[in-house]
């Protein structure tokens, strides 16, 4: 039974090697990728069902018991996020296969893309499922190493420049993470998350606070928290649309997930954490205001991504069951919506041949379908009812007001303001891109750069993949009731930490 | 809880300081060396996290438990070394490609950022239209 937990990590890694071996056979690579991701979707569904109805699944690798050995744990939170992430990865893979076939024909193979994409999947899965701090580091490195290659593939001067910033910032934060692990180990003598929870209580208050803050910095860089966000709007827009979509949807969310997991499970904290509320407020406002100044569609979406990281930090700062329920709902909503928006942006740039908003217009007459596909996730991002963003934002605001401290009110007010600014930003995109005089696609100024194609050719696979993701965002709103119930149970697990600890340390989980 | 001897503390501090100093430089090669030195510092710190080496290999039944070295930090440091090594290789390849494409190894600014910074002054001078074209040609896309 517990082997189910290892599948999302081991299967893509193995398949990546196989995919590399079949580099010359484009179709084999494509079907292999889709098949593997499909299997993981099914596996994640089963994991979520078992974790929700029975107990967390635990796999002790090599048979070594928890505090010493490596444990993979699938509790409600991990399984839920894994499921959403893999669904998005599946849709994005479909989109990028469609894009490849449209641009280069069916027979051409992109030897490196598929293996690296599968490695990225393994890294993301491991980050969700791992039960100790050092394997979290390994997961981040697997994920980031894959992302370095994806962001600098088909190198142009601009992509090398952006990739360099991204790589160096990520590597520096990884070194800091390693330092943190060293300090945690020398202070407590363990890196197992469940075990750490008991150990940090014995530490002097000052020391455990210092470790907690260092963790905020490390995961703050990964999740693009203001003031550590500067690398994101510079690097993400320079990658091709599907790659930006997958980065925006998953990499920052994994950072947030790691922050939630470590801060809540490991450290003992009083109600409502003021520092986190202030950081959340800054992140929301800086991101939203930054988005308003942009002329480049992808950069605008990247700034909105930064802004909405603030909402998740807000829920974490509130630090109670209601707040965490809001965060989990928000992560689920945001993973799907942000990926969908970047995929639509990829479709838009194919019709217009530019990423500059000032040179677009009248797209609604060329392709009404793209306009609809943009409108649904954009309204959801702004939190307009009845879309998924509204449900998640409402949960967060209720929790913020429920806490009732001064800073919680200020942050809640900031959240409302940010929602309005987001609405203004996407409305601006809408009027610039879809209304107005119709402009014909411009020729491609740099044919080696996949970012701007301007052919107007889109294949059914690309539109279907985007449509599928948009449907998922709508589905998140439709299923808001059961989803909120699962999120609430996951949040209760997080706050008490009891289920996680007994499952990992005392064999209370479903293992084997 | 374990303590570190003074020499080790000084070496660690030196490695981190040198690494961060190099990281802040303008030249890519120095940044890369900075990352490498920082990586060494972090690996040494991991080693130290296990406490002073007790000397005996960690094999059950070979020696009393108190005189065994802690194997976990060593395993972690080994993993970290392999990862740092792989990523350093990647960075070297990237730096080489930057050299090929750009002809120098300076870390460059983001053009779009500068563009937005200039936007305000341009608007006030009323020359927005002229400068827009100039900036468009400056931006690579």
State residue B102's pLDDT score. Answer: 83
- The verdict on whether omega for the bond into residue A386 sits within 30 degrees of 0, i.e. cis, is yes
Q: How far is CA A106 from CA A233, A242, A404, in A?
A: 33, 18, 59
φ, ψ for residue A229, nearest 5 deg: -100, -10
Average pLDDT over residues A293-318: 92
- pLDDT reported for residue A451: 62
Question: For position A445, what pLDDT does the model report?
Answer: 56
| B98 has a chain A CB within 8 A of its CB | yes
Task: Say whether residue B120 is in contact with chain A using an 8 A CB cutoff.
Answer: no
Cα separation of B38 and B45, whole Å?
Answer: 10
Residue A144 pLDDT greater than 90, yes or no: yes
CB contact under 8 A, B42 and A156: no
For chain A, say whether B108 makes contact (Cβ under 8 Å).
Answer: yes
Between the CA of residue A117 and those of A62, A143, A147, what are the distances in Å?
27, 9, 9
Min Cα separation A296/chain B (Å): 9
List Cα–Cα distances, A385 to A152, A337, A393, B112, B131, in angstroms. Answer: 39, 15, 10, 34, 42
DSSP A27-73: HHHHHHHHHHHHHHHHHHHHHHHHHHHT--EEEEGGG--TTTS-EEE
Task: Find, in chain B, the residue whose alpha carbon is nearest to that of A181.
Answer: B46
Full-prediction pTM beyond 0.80? yes
Task: Report the share of chain A in percent with pLDDT over 70.
Answer: 96
In 3-state terms chain B splits into helix, strand, coil percentages (rounded to 5) of: 70, 5, 25
Q: How many CB atoms lie within 10 A of CB A130?
A: 24
Contact status, residue A344 vs residue A465, Cβ threshold 8 Å: no
CA distance A367 to B85: 49
Distance of alpha carbon A273 from alpha carbon A318, whole angstroms: 6
pLDDT at A180 over 80: yes
CA B110 to chain centre: 20
Question: In the predicted model, is pLDDT for residue A1 greater than 80?
Answer: no
| Cβ(B108)–Cβ(B48) below 8 Å | no
- Average per-residue pLDDT for chain A: 89
- CA-based nearest residue to A246, from A374, A35, A89: A89
* Res. A125: pLDDT tops 90: yes
**A464 pLDDT band (50/70/90 cuts)?**
very high
Cβ–Cβ gap B141/A164 under 8 Å: no
Note whether A232 and A304 are within 8 A (CB). no
Nearest CB to A160; choose among B23, B46, B97 = B97
* pLDDT given at position B3: 63
Read off φ and ψ for residue B68, nearest 5 degrees. Answer: -85, 150
Find the angle CA(A451)-CA(A285)-CA(A172) to the nearest 5 degrees.
Answer: 60
- In three-state secondary structure terms, A329 is helix
pLDDT tens string A331-362: 999 999 999 999 999 999 888 878 888 888 88
- Contact assignment for A163 to B107 by CB distance below 8 Å: no
Chain B closest-CA separation from residue A238 CA (Å): 10
What's the distance, Cα to Cα, between the start and end of chain B in Å?
A: 55
Query: So what's the pLDDT on residue B127?
Result: 52
Question: How confident is the model over A213-220, as a mean pLDDT?
Answer: 94
Distance of CA A493 to the CA centre of its chain: 22
Return the closest-CA partner of residue B137 out of A439, A232, A356, A238.
A356
Mean pLDDT value across residues B39-60: 82
Question: At A73, phi and psi to the nearest 5?
Answer: -125, 130
CA pair distance A331, A57, nearest whole angstrom: 22
Q: How distant is the Cα of A185 from the closest Cα of chain B, in angstroms?
A: 6
Please answer whether residues A377 and A370 qualify as being in contact, where contact means their C-beta atoms are separated by less than 8 angstroms: no
| CA–CA gap between residue A120 and residue A149 (Å, rounded) | 10
pLDDT digits (tens, 9 = 90+) for A58-96: 998 888 877 778 899 999 999 999 999 999 999 999 999
More reliable by pLDDT, A438 or A479: A479
Shortest CA distance from A154: residue in chain B: B97
CB contact under 8 A, B87 and A160: no
Which candidate in A157, A171, A199, A449 is best for mutational testing of the B interface (most B CBs within 10 A)? Answer: A171
Where residue B140 falls among pLDDT bands split at 50, 70, 90?
Answer: very low
Q: Is the pLDDT of residue A365 over 70?
A: yes
- What chain A residue is nearest to B49 in terms of C-alpha separation? A186
CB contact burial A308-342 (16+ within 10 A = b; e otherwise): bbbbbbbbbbbbbbbbbbbbbbbbbbbbbbbbbbb
């Amino acid at each position: 039974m517990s082997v189910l937990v290892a599948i999302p990590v081991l299967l893509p890694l193995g398949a990546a090697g196989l995919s590399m071996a079949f580099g010359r056979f484009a179709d084999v690579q494509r079907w292999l990728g889709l098949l593997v991701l499909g299997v993981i979707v099914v596996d994640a569904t089963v994991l979520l069902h078992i974790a929700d109805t029975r107990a967390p699944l635990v796999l002790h690798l090599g048979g070594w018991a928890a505090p010493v050995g490596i444990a993979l744990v699938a509790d409600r939170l991990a399984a839920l996020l894994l499921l959403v992430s893999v669904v998005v990865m599946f849709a994005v893979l479909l989109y990028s296969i469609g894009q490849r076939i449209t641009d280069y024909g069916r027979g051409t193979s992109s030897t490196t893309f598929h293996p690296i994409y599968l490695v990225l999947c393994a890294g993301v899965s491991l980050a969700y499922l791992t039960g100790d701090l050092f394997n979290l580091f390994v997961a981040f490195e697997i994920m980031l190493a894959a992302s370095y290659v994806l962001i600098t593939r088909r190198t142009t001067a601009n992509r090398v420049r952006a990739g360099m910033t991204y790589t160096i910032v990520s590597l520096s934060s990884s070194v800091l993470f390693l330092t943190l692990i060293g300090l945690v180990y020398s202070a407590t003598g363990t890196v197992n998350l469940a075990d750490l929870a008991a150990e940090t209580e014995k530490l002097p208050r000052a020391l455990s606070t210092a470790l907690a803050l260092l963790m905020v910095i490390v995961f703050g860089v990964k999740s693009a928290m203001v003031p550590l966000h500067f690398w994101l709007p510079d690097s993400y827009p320079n990658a091709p649309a599907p790659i930006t979509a997958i980065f925006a949807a998953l990499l920052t969310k994994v950072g947030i997930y790691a922050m939630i997991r470590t801060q809540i499970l490991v450290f003992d904290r009083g109600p409502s954490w003021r520092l986190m509320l202030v950081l959340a407020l800054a992140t929301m406002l800086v991101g939203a205001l930054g988005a308003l100044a942009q002329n480049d569609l992808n950069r605008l979406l990247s700034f909105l991504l930064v802004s909405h990281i603030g909402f998740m930090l807000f829920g974490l700062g509130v630090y109670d069951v209601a707040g965490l329920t809001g965060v989990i709902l928000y992560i689920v909503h945001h993973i799907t919506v942000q990926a969908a928006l970047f995929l639509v942006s990829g479709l838009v740039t194919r019709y217009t041949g530019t990423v500059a908003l000032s040179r677009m217009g009248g797209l609604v007459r060329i392709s009404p379908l793209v306009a609809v596909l943009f409108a649904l996730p954009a309204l959801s991002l702004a939190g307009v009812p009845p879309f998924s963003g509204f449900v998640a934002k409402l949960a967060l605001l209720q929790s913020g007001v429920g806490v009732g401290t001064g800073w919680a009110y200020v942050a809640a007010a900031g959240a409302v303001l940010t929602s309005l600014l987001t609405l203004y930003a996407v409305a601006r995109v809408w009027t610039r891109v879809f209304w107005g005089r119709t402009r014909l696609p411009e020729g491609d100024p740099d044919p080696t750069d996949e970012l701007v194609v301007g052919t107007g050719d889109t294949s059914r696979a690309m539109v279907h993949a985007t449509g599928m993701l948009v449907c998922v965002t709508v589905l998140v709103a439709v299923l808001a009731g059961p989803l909120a119930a699962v999120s609430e149970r996951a949040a209760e697990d997080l706050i008490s930490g009891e289920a996680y600890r007994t499952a990992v340390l005392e064999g209370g989980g479903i293992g084997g | 809880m374990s303590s570190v001897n003074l020499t080790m503390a000084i070496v660690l501090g030196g490695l981190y300081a040198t690494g961060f100093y190099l990281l802040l430089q303008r030249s890519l090669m120095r940044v890369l060396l900075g990352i490498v030195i920082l990586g060494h510092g972090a690996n040494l710190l991991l080693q130290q996290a296990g406490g002073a080496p007790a000397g005996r290999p960690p094999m059950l039944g070979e020696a009393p438990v108190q005189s065994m070295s802690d194997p976990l930090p060593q395993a972690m440091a080994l993993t970290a070394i392999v990862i740092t090594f792989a990523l350093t290789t990647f960075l070297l390849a990237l730096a080489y490609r930057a050299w090929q494409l750009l002809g120098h190894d300076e870390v460059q600014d983001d053009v779009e950022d500068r563009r937005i910074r200039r936007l305000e002054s341009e608007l006030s001078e009323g020359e927005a239209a002229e400068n827009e074209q100039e900036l468009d040609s400056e931006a690579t896309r």
